[in-house]
Amino acid sequence: MPPKIIDIIPRPNRIEVKDGDFIISGKISVVAPKELSSLKKMLQETLEHCTGKKGAVEKASEIVLSLGKTDLGEEGYVLDIEPGKMTIESISPKGIFYGIQTVRQLVFSSQDGKIPCMRIEDSPRLAWRGMMLDEGRHFFGKEFVMKFIDLMALHKMNSFHWHLTEDQGWRIEIKKYPKLTSIGSRRAESPIEGDRNKGDGKPYGGFYTQDDIREIVKYASDRFINVVPEIEMPGHAAAAIASYPEFGNTDIADYSPEVKTSWGVHYYTYSPTEKTFKFLEDVIEEVVSLFPGKYFHIGGDEAPKDQWKTSPTARKIMMDNELKDEHELQSYFIKRVESILKKHNRILIGWDEIQEGGLSPTATMMVWRDWKWATMALNNGNCIVMAPTSHTYFDHYQEDPKEHKEPEAIGGLTSLDKVYLYNPVLEGITPEQEKLILGTQAQLWSEYLFNTDKVEFMAFPRMFALAEVAWTRPENKNYQDFLLRLKSTLALLTHMKVQYRNPF
């Protein structure tokens, strides 16, 4: 540990503090090759907030952005700070970007317009460092999503998992199926705050146009964040089926699909027919045109089998394909969808229920329930992303509500220290299996996130703890040191008008 607290989250993996200071209160020139011009501009905008506020110096200081050889990988960087000169070096623009995020934090936390001279050699522990935002239950809008992406990028998170469809709302424009938004994006009412069993009587809706999506995806890409869309199937599909009832199990009793107005797991699932797969193929084709990343999340979780059990059509499909039960029918459904995704060079990723009835050897599993599913997937050779309820569900309480007054949450307790002490790399696995753990992410399910202030309150500062889990190697972590650095980060959030929860 350096003798001085260096206010950076996540903590860099190697810091050497040196004598002297870099002055940021006067004129600073930024030097960069043409291919880094956008990053140069980003750094200059940060510096403009500080230049001239605390006096001036006669000689301009210099910050150099350099694409050079390092052994730290494409996300790694070297930051060398000397009096009058600062250099950020990496083999790729991505590493330069992360070095700039470190500088941004140092600039904000500087005292008397000075940054201590130091050398940082840094690279991430895990490749997938993510946050999931559910907009199926509540819709937050383009400006907020961009603000959220900014906060992720500042702390070196790189995967934004966007949950865009639910029983309670369909939030993405599909031009071939306009009813998905004209009907599916709207519900008659929502549960009231404080009593999920009562409706508020107020119509609710909202969705993103394809132009909105393109703008957000570009904004994220400029910050080296990959956006992973989630289109739920075969369950959590009531809003889609309400829009196009012919894609549900129309041959069951009391078939009456609607956009759901209450939380919880609902029984409307897609019918596993050829016309349904054609509908999903059309939807996927439009979605992949908007999201260039290689992963496509299909949900796959909490899909009740009740309708399939009583549907003569579903029973015949099971018989024709020699499927012994509805779990195998779900596996059949998911493999059919995966074949569509492969045509578009996309990798299917889903919640850990996608292993029910047999896990495709080429699918990636997001582990949210029991950690045993992680072990099973690794033993099968599947890649996984760790997203367990035990440590990464940020819709849970942050303190025991019986002892402290906490805003309403879905339940559970996921404290700041619990997140920080979480290790997403399972014990007792082989080095080859460890390579299959892509990373980790936190979940912001939005049943109780009634507005953007509540999203921020539940996300921050727990996201910063997870950022350090994902980036910083375990031997370099220290919770008490993290809390000291967190104070500066919270001051930055105040400056950015973020409604965080203060743990102090």
Residues 350 and 282 in one domain: yes
Q: Does some domain include residue 502?
A: no
Residues 151 and 111 in one domain: no
Residues 173 and 117 in one domain: no
CA dist 469 and 478 (Å) reads 11
Phi first, then psi: what are they for 140, rounded to 5°?
A: -110, -20
Q: With contact defined as beta carbons under 8 Å apart, do 156 and 467 qualify?
A: yes
CA dihedral 28, 493, 13, 364 (to 10 degrees): -120
Q: With contact defined as beta carbons under 8 Å apart, do 460 and 498 qualify?
A: yes
Residues 109 and 151 in one domain: no
Q: Does some domain include residue 168?
A: yes
Q: Does some domain include residue 186?
A: yes
Residue that finishes a domain, picked among 96, 122, 148: 122
- What's the pLDDT score for residue 1? 42
Residues 332 and 396 in one domain: yes
Per-residue pLDDT of the chain (504 residues), as tens digits, is: 444 679 999 999 999 999 999 998 778 899 999 999 999 999 998 888 765 444 444 567 899 999 998 889 999 999 999 999 999 999 999 999 999 999 999 999 987 888 999 999 999 999 999 999 999 999 999 999 999 999 999 999 999 999 999 999 999 999 999 999 999 999 999 999 988 899 999 999 999 999 999 999 999 999 999 999 999 999 999 999 999 999 999 999 999 999 999 999 999 999 999 999 999 999 999 999 999 999 999 999 999 999 999 999 999 999 999 999 999 999 999 999 999 999 999 999 999 999 988 889 999 999 999 899 999 999 999 999 999 999 999 999 999 888 888 899 999 999 999 999 999 999 999 999 999 999 999 999 999 999 999 999 999 999 999 999 999 999 999 999 999 999 999 999 999 999 999 999
Residue that finishes a domain, picked among 102, 122, 142: 122
Residues 33 and 181 in one domain: no
- What's the pLDDT score for residue 70? 85
List beta partners, residue 35: none
Phi first, then psi: what are they for 53, rounded to 5°?
A: -85, -20
Residues 76 and 217 in one domain: no
Whole-prediction pTM value? 0.96
CA dist 244 and 183 (Å) reads 9
For residue 93, give the CATH number of its domain.
3.30.379.10
Residues 158 and 201 in one domain: yes
Domain count, the chain: 2
Residues 67 and 141 in one domain: no
Containing domain of residue 31, as a range? 15-122
Q: Does some domain include residue 4?
A: no
Name 80's Cβ contacts closer than 8 Å, sequence gap at least 6: 86, 87, 89, 119, 120
Residue that finishes a domain, picked among 122, 154, 182: 122
For residue 207, give the CATH number of its domain.
3.20.20.80
User: Which uninterrupted H or E stretch holds 312?
Assistant: helix 312-320
Q: How far apart are the first and last CA of the chain?
A: 23
Q: Which of 386, 340, 334, 321 is nearest to 363 (CA)?
A: 334
- What's the pLDDT score for residue 55? 40
Q: Does some domain include residue 5?
A: no
Q: Does some domain include residue 487?
A: yes
CA dihedral 409, 411, 416, 417 (to 10 degrees): 170
Q: Does some domain include residue 51?
A: yes
Residues 92 and 208 in one domain: no
CA dist 384 and 436 (Å) reads 6
Q: Does some domain include residue 194?
A: yes
- What's the pLDDT score for residue 380? 95
Residues 157 and 252 in one domain: yes
The residue type found at 303 is A
- What's the pLDDT score for residue 404? 83
Write the DSSP string, 294-363.
Answer: SEEEEE--S---HHHHH-HHHHHHHHHTT--SHHHHHHHHHHHHHHHHHHTT-EEEEEGGGGTT---TT-
List beta partners, residue 121: 78
Q: How far is CA 161 from CA 87, 281, 356, 445, in A?
A: 33, 21, 23, 12
- What's the pLDDT score for residue 50? 64
Residues 201 and 99 in one domain: no
Phi first, then psi: what are they for 229, rounded to 5°?
A: -75, 145
Write the DSSP string, 159-174.
Answer: EEEEE-EETTEE-B--
Residue 234 preceded by cis peptide, ω within 30: yes
